[in-house]
Amino acid sequence: MVTRINNDLQERLRKAEEAEHAVTKLGSLAAEAPVLRQELARAQRQQGWDRARKNAMEECRRKMENVHDKQSQVPQLLEEVSTMVSSLYHLFKEIDAGRRDALEQMAIVDRVDYEAELTDMEAEQIAVGNDPSNVEYLVASRHGYARVKKMMDEAFPHFSYLKDCDLEDPMRRDVAQFILSHVVPIEEISVVHHSTV
């Protein structure tokens, strides 16, 4: 009977010790759970960041390949545009030179008219017994650049550097303004649609 009790106690003790050992083992494993959860969350976040970074880098590379392809067209287009701008600039220079020559000829017309008017008015003043020197300023006030420009506008109405050009597009208008500004004094430029400069 005593042997049986001892055997039962030994068996229970063995099971209890096994359970104690399992609890100790599980307890230390359970203590690792919060740390393992943090590490797993960190690893998952890192994977997400790595994936996002990789995707962004691949998209960046694709975009830059497209940018490089487009940029490779710039030298040729710039050469073509520069040639065209240069041609337009030289054409504007020729137009401006011709216009200034025409203005000089119209200034001669004005000078002839001035001389004729002055001579006539001086003769009139002498005929009535007045001092003819007073009429010179009066006659001069009616002549000069303003009259020359007016005569040009009347003789050749609607002159414009950009006549018949479609200037509705802002880029086209800006380009025209830019090129003209290198040819014509800024106060003479008016490149709005239907310009009369």
Distance CA 71, CA 64 (A): 10
Q: Does 82 lie in the same domain as 10? A: no
- What's the distance, CA 118 to chain centroid? 56
Q: Does 152 lie in the same domain as 80? A: yes
Mark which of 51, 72, 93 sits at the end of a domain.
72
Q: Answer yes or no: is 99 within a domain.
A: yes
Q: Does 82 lie in the same domain as 57? A: no
Q: Taking the CB of residue 102, how many other CB atoms lie within 10 A of it?
A: 14
3-state class percentages of the chain: helix first, strand second, coil last, to nearest 5: 80, 0, 20
Number of domains in the chain: 2
Confidence of residue 192 (pLDDT cuts 50, 70, 90): very low
- What's the distance, CA 109 to chain centroid? 47
Q: Does 88 lie in the same domain as 146? A: yes
Q: Answer yes or no: is 2 within a domain.
A: yes
- Better pLDDT: 48 or 30: 48
Q: Answer yes or no: is 167 within a domain.
A: no
Q: Does 54 lie in the same domain as 25? A: yes
pLDDT of residue 2: 58
Q: Answer yes or no: is 134 within a domain.
A: yes
Q: Does 109 lie in the same domain as 95? A: yes
Q: Does 36 lie in the same domain as 82? A: no
Q: Answer yes or no: is 124 within a domain.
A: yes
pLDDT of residue 191: 41
Q: Does 84 lie in the same domain as 142? A: yes
Average pLDDT value for residue range 50-66: 96
Containing structural domain, residue 56: 1-72
95-150, pLDDT tens digit by residue? 999 999 999 999 999 999 999 999 999 988 888 888 888 888 888 899 999 999 99
Q: Does 78 lie in the same domain as 45? A: no
146-174, pLDDT tens digit by residue? 999 999 999 998 888 998 999 999 999 99
**Among positive and negative, which fits the CA dihedral 83, 86, 88, 90?**
negative
pLDDT of residue 195: 42
Q: Does 146 lie in the same domain as 78? A: yes
Q: Does 153 lie in the same domain as 124? A: yes
Report residue 22 as tokens.
């399992």
Q: Answer yes or no: is 109 within a domain.
A: yes
Most confident stretch, 16-20, 34-38, 90-94, 164-168: 90-94
Average pLDDT value for residue range 62-76: 96
Distance CA 121, CA 141 (A): 14
Q: Does 148 lie in the same domain as 78? A: yes
Q: Answer yes or no: is 164 within a domain.
A: no
pLDDT of residue 147: 93
Report residue 183 as tokens.
């040819």
